Structure 1
């Protein structure tokens, strides 16, 4: 892959430490290919309103819309996103060009005294910004006090270290990318604890039909991550759930080459914690077959009255944090 004379690749990113760190990995790879790269920091609504619950800021996409606008206006050549922040409906004029290798997709518990979720003291306080996490904590430990927190990873860990909280639940991928994996007390995995759709995965978005940038990104694309997250996002879309909905999913390729996809729908409407789960596996070789698997698992969840749970959460449940 030859370098074009005077070519500069403009990479858009949010300004948070985590966003810039994960974008930095992409920039390092592009530079290793011989390209000159310019980082362009773009502030989003989600970054600007750190103390407001995300659901009160707007619908899906509060961390991505300003980056998408910069792509459409050709102020940047590509944008690096956390895939879990992207709405399932693609913005017209844009496309996903590359999905790099996924980091750990699970949530983790970080506790002040180094004890796991089941061993936290009665009435301990646990910080989380997610309704999905909150409900799953309640399912395991209904006695715990859930504290709604926002802010970057450092600010959340600081509240823990200063004694304001007994534990926090965070994404493993964020701690790993920031070099803070030693803070992890416990890895929270299915079937007890389901991650967000596409958690741990990045996606690089470009303006539609920008063939040159697509070619530049091809060496860092990971097909297994791409197909697994296509299936997870198809499940989410089939359930008409946005990235704030209490839905979890995890897809992974097994030793026999089949993609195994599981998903869950959660509710704590009326103070009653409920969780529905379903899974399926099949040979998947392209985006169409991956999406078909996602729809299949979604249909299994819908047959268990998943829609009723989601409607309860929208109409009478506690608002997402």
Structure 2
């Protein structure tokens, strides 16, 4: 058994929370391990002047950490799973999917106003095309404004009065103790989350069996089924973090229910569908369900929607 583990992580407050959580949980199971953190600045942390949709999303928050993992300078990387591309670099693998936090999105607004109650042409801040698409399908009058930076920075911009409201993931807001600022938690019927939202993906080298054996203790089976189904759907649609695709999987007693959304950036065109599969006994079967739902969406015209978006990016 290894005596030391080095965790690679971004340096944002939320990323550090996630890395410290992982460290604490591993130490609880393996108190003899000396676990250290290595902070890595990623491309996504540096390029803050342009919208994510304009600079691409192929590993903006993960690739630089993965370089350290491949070079054996760290033993594992802790990511927000929603930031992890569906195709990991050769030699690396997501070994553990941690138990998921609440996957829903939330509204932070002036005066605690809910989405339907926001004034006409209200300035809504989000960096996500997925959120933009679903928001505009509900409220086409909203003035969507791009917002970048970590969670604390976004709250600073909001507090400075730049926006009437902003949309964030509940998981991050809760983990950094901003829950008292939530104006509304949006149900999945209104806003489907990003693929993998609320879960951590712990990435290791394929050939580092000792580390993989250690971090497997943090894998949550139900979360793995759901997230692998969602990620298979996204991969089959050839989407990414900055494509208007939302998905949510739930898994209980061998039954997987997967919901999905594909829409145009302006919210004028949107496809919703779902699939339910029973008797699942392996995560691979969950992936098959994700692919099957992707095929249903493609048959309804999802490819045409996504192709048009890719042309304009």
Does the aligned pair in 2 maintain the 1:51–1:151 contact within 8 Å? Answer: no
Does the aligned pair in 2 maintain the 1:60–1:244 contact within 8 Å? Answer: no
Does the aligned pair in 1 maintain the 2:233–2:293 contact within 8 Å? Answer: yes
Q: CA deviation at 1:274?
A: 1.1
Does the aligned pair in 2 maintain the 1:50–1:151 contact within 8 Å? Answer: yes
SS in 1 for 2:111: coil
1:111-153 CA-partner distances (Å, limit 9, x unpaired): 1110110001112111000111111111111111111111111
Q: What does residue 239 of structure 1 align with?
A: 237
Q: What does residue 23 of structure 2 align with?
A: 27
Does the aligned pair in 1 maintain the 2:56–2:242 contact within 8 Å? Answer: no
Cα distance in 1 for residues equivalent to 2:41 and 2:267: 38
Cα distance in 2 for residues equivalent to 1:24 and 1:37: 10
Matches within 5 A, 1:154-193: 154-193=152-191
Out of 10, 13, 24, the position equivalent to 1:17 is: 13
Q: What does residue 267 of structure 1 align with?
A: 264
Q: Does 1:279 align with 2:278?
A: no
Q: What does residue 138 of structure 2 align with?
A: 140
* TM-score of the pair, normalised by structure 1: 0.93
Moved more, 231-240 or 29-38: 29-38
1:190-240 CA-partner distances (Å, limit 9, x unpaired): 222111111111110011121111111122110100110000000011111
Q: CA deviation at 1:184?
A: 1.3
1:17-64 CA-partner distances (Å, limit 9, x unpaired): 110111110011122221211100011100111222223334411111
Does the aligned pair in 2 maintain the 1:189–1:195 contact within 8 Å? Answer: no
Moved more, 153-162 or 97-106: 153-162
Cα distance in 2 for residues equivalent to 1:64 and 1:55: 16
Does the aligned pair in 2 maintain the 1:262–1:278 contact within 8 Å? Answer: yes
Out of 201, 214, 218, the position equivalent to 1:220 is: 218
Q: CA deviation at 1:272?
A: 6.1
Out of 110, 113, 128, the position equivalent to 1:112 is: 110
Out of 51, 54, 59, the position equivalent to 1:53 is: 51
Does the aligned pair in 2 maintain the 1:116–1:185 contact within 8 Å? Answer: yes
SS in 2 for 1:113: helix
Cα distance in 2 for residues equivalent to 1:106 and 1:60: 24
Q: What does residue 298 of structure 1 align with?
A: 294
Structure 1 residues 59 and 166: alpha-carbon distance in aligned structure 2, compared to 1, 3 A threshold: closer
Gaps of 5+ in 2: none
1:223-274 CA-partner distances (Å, limit 9, x unpaired): 10011000000001111112221111000024x5411001110103xx5611
